[in-house]
Structure 1
């Protein structure tokens, strides 16, 4: 294997900066183009975030959720969902706020028991703004932070010996749904982006051994793993898989050599402590809620009744398996409260890209790499079904497509990365790789762009109206006008394409040099 010196720190962190800017622009465009309360369960997350930064981590249990003290304009988000599940209704139907926007009132959130770490990081704009600007500011803060986490994956991939194929997998894994969630106040943004970064970091540590970069990579792994694990109840499972599955690529001797590094052991210990806190938060939150009632009688809780409550685990498992392709389409993109699916064109583009990666994996992977590819595929197909099967009898059918994104993105990135490793020493043509990158980027831009435009139309004028009316007669106008989110999204796509091409160009130059050396060696042999 040809030794390649690591990219200089300035170069690889330049990749991070460029990717961060691009992804933040894309997520911020979604943050502005999405009406208040249009994200899945977003009112609950808005109220939770505003209460956490005011020191109220849980709040007493009320009939419809935990009762907490928040600004009136944040609590009012519960009343601004008139367009939810009505795709033909634009967002201007939302009623105006009643009362003083900045007045502190009692709000109700169904996210009261959620881990507070994400909310503490994004809720602080409500301490600065006293009107709905605070909601959009929270979204943009979440967009910037989750985009920074995701950008770390691009930086890590740029340090690979042959980064082009892994880069393609990373790009395809960032479906429209990933960027959309990053532009909302929703802990899934940290969960999905953090799982991507943790998995890429672990793959990098395992397959791109370099002691000079080990501390940096381990630090990234620790930060993103702890943040992602402390988002949703199931998040520690995704992080555990992101860390453990790549280890199957190592022999026992290689694993022992890795574990002899002090930085590896310290990192593992910190991640374990972070995951332990995440697991402990559920009983902690229940105790805090009880203490907040001050010994008052228990409140009758009015809960949402999900379908199929009482059904057997086998029923839940089979139902999930039958919905595999439906959930797959939702992971590509189903915006709003799952009432605005991406257009069929976007589904087709991503299906072709995903199919190409999986077909390459099936054709090229052997040995340990094939084993890891099979493990990822089986987990992506069956693990969500097993989770839903375990919950359906007592809680009903609750699964939504985006819940499976963490394992879905690991499958895409993992197979592509393993294919890239299998092709490292193959005589690939530089021009062919460049064409492949360009095709993927064009598909990415077309699919993302069309999905964004369709969702914007749905919010502004409703889904059953003409495209012309989006410009000539908008019913709901996002902050700054329609041109602002469009410009941000276009700029984000352009910058991300430049970042990807720069990563590939470095790989292309190395490949050309290697081919010239090979031809020179062959000529000398003759």
Structure 2
């Protein structure tokens, strides 16, 4: 419920087409449920996309995008006009699975009612994946330090995009859930929760296989990172379970169907955003290197149409939290941990950077931070896993989790306030902003449910998630006293016996051993 309220607050607060490309995805969703599943390739948007038939009430121009000082009041709201019209969509040839799920409310009830139902439906699916990730961490994380990784991975941008009609939002939630399940399944401690982890890994893996073309890369990199080096003890317990094979076959079949669709429908043709400029390879790499500074902020929360920024201190706080987890984990990691981290970073950073440079003169620089967030979520989750397995005792893990919650959860509300102010009245220049600039009661545009409702929903969601994380960050006393892998809170002792860490323990599963000498 907590994650759903956090996501729903954005769904209720946003104007129509309030997030990037929502109109394109709305058109595609209605087209799919209307039977236009595989429309012919057309020059619908910058040389790509397709045309779809949609209710006229959903066809609206966006007059405020890219201008943060302009409110959404200039735009005509969606209406119940069901007159069929043909509309262009840059997403017109995307894989239809996601759109078949969210499209019916838009077709049956064009206007605000259908739009909000579709948004909340999409958000509920993402919230369910995030809830599954939290439950899996509580059951399988050694000291529940992976909760800190979860808090870092679920950024305001993740909940913002999950609230819109856009498969990228669900892709982020699926990425978080997938890595949360895959890490304990293949390299961690399942503690008898294998069935739940299989379901979470299977469902999120299926989602990643069909949501977006880039999702297939995250799926492949995740498996490769945690299956290398190939060891039978990693896979034998899983492959010996009959419940594993339907998920393996299902994900493989879904991934294969997605590849066939991509090739047949030419969905990797993303249009021409070059502006006619031709770059050398070195120029393209320099531009790409500069762009990553912006991508890091976008992963946290540059909302609107990449036109709404919070104060810089909030981005810095989030990035420091993520960097602290990553650097600390590299210090205590074993060699295999570092190789896995390198593979994850390569998949989330180097591969997208190379692809953008490779096609810079054909498509331009179209990457955004939100596109790589599903993969980099796996990086911070694995960093937290390494820390709790190799170095951090239970009391310190609890402190890290709680401090992370105190630092990061309020930024979700702050990001919502900044964005609502941008939609409702426009944000003034940075030097002219004050506290009253974020007052949700002001402005010439307001959400259809009122300005207070999204804020209350966000606060309730944050309180629920924060309280839950705070409570479960402490392991049960009985588990701490009886588990041989649980360190006591004083001077490295377990059950009154001194701890040692011989090479044999470090080379094994990283657990402390007990010496009675």
Q: What TM-score comes out, normalization by structure 2 length? A: 0.86
1:167 maps to 2:144: no
How far apart are 1:188 and its partner, in Å? 0.3
Q: Which residue of structure 2 aligns with residue 18 of structure 1?
A: none
- Report 1:263-278 matches (<5 A): 263-278=243-258
**Aligned mate of 1:518, from 484, 489, 494:** 494
For residues 271 and 92 of structure 2, what CA distance do their matches in structure 1 show? 14
**Aligned mate of 2:362, from 394, 397, 401:** 394
8 A Cα contact 1:320 1:384, kept in partner: no
Q: Which residue of structure 1 aligns with residue 194 of structure 2?
A: 214
Q: Which residue of structure 2 aligns with residue 10 of structure 1?
A: none
8 A Cα contact 2:271 2:363, kept in partner: no
Q: Which residue of structure 1 aligns with residue 400 of structure 2?
A: 436
Q: Deviations over 1:291-315 (max 9, x none)?
A: xxxxxxxxxx996533475434554
**Stretches of structure 1 lacking an aligned partner (at least 5 in a row):** 1-20, 288-300
Q: Which residue of structure 2 aligns with residue 483 of structure 1?
A: 452
Q: Which residue of structure 2 aligns with residue 342 of structure 1?
A: 310
Q: Which residue of structure 1 aligns with residue 417 of structure 2?
A: 453
For residues 238 and 215 of structure 1, what CA distance do their matches in structure 2 show? 23
How far apart are 1:252 and its partner, in Å? 4.8
How far apart are 1:139 and its partner, in Å? 1.1
For residues 499 and 146 of structure 1, what CA distance do their matches in structure 2 show? 18
For residues 355 and 130 of structure 1, what CA distance do their matches in structure 2 show? 44
**Aligned mate of 1:88, from 69, 72, 97:** 69
**Aligned mate of 2:320, from 345, 349, 352:** 352
For residues 169 and 399 of structure 2, what CA distance do their matches in structure 1 show? 32
**Aligned mate of 1:462, from 410, 426, 430:** 426
After the TM superposition, which of the residue ranges 433-442 and 23-32 deviates more from structure 2? Answer: 433-442
Alpha carbons of structure 1 residues 473 and 179: separation in structure 2 relative to 1, 3 Å: closer
1:75 maps to 2:56: no
CA RMSD of superposed structures (Å): 2.8
Alpha carbons of structure 1 residues 306 and 284: separation in structure 2 relative to 1, 3 Å: same
Q: Which residue of structure 2 aligns with residue 279 of structure 1?
A: 259
How far apart are 1:61 and its partner, in Å? 4.3
8 A Cα contact 1:87 1:340, kept in partner: yes
For residues 472 and 181 of structure 1, what CA distance do their matches in structure 2 show? 24
For residues 475 and 104 of structure 2, what CA distance do their matches in structure 1 show? 40
**Aligned mate of 1:496, from 465, 474, 481:** 465
- Report 1:362-441 matches (<5 A): 362-423=330-391, 428=393, 430=395, 432-441=396-405
Q: Would you tell me which structure has more helix in proportion to its own residues?
A: 1
8 A Cα contact 2:28 2:91, kept in partner: yes
Q: Which residue of structure 2 aligns with residue 3 of structure 1?
A: none
After the TM superposition, which of the residue ranges 306-315 and 150-159 deviates more from structure 2? Answer: 306-315
- Report 1:86-125 matches (<5 A): 86-95=67-76, 101-125=81-105
State how many pairs are aligned.
Answer: 484
Specify the SS of the correspondent of 2:318.
Answer: helix
Q: What TM-score comes out, normalization by structure 1 length? A: 0.85
How far apart are 1:121 and its partner, in Å? 0.8
Q: Deviations over 1:48-104 (max 9, x none)?
A: 11111122113344542422211111122xx1x11101100111111366x962222
Q: Which residue of structure 2 aligns with residue 227 of structure 1?
A: 207
Specify the SS of the correspondent of 1:70.
Answer: strand
1:56 maps to 2:32: no
Alpha carbons of structure 1 residues 416 and 521: separation in structure 2 relative to 1, 3 Å: closer
Specify the SS of the correspondent of 1:28.
Answer: helix
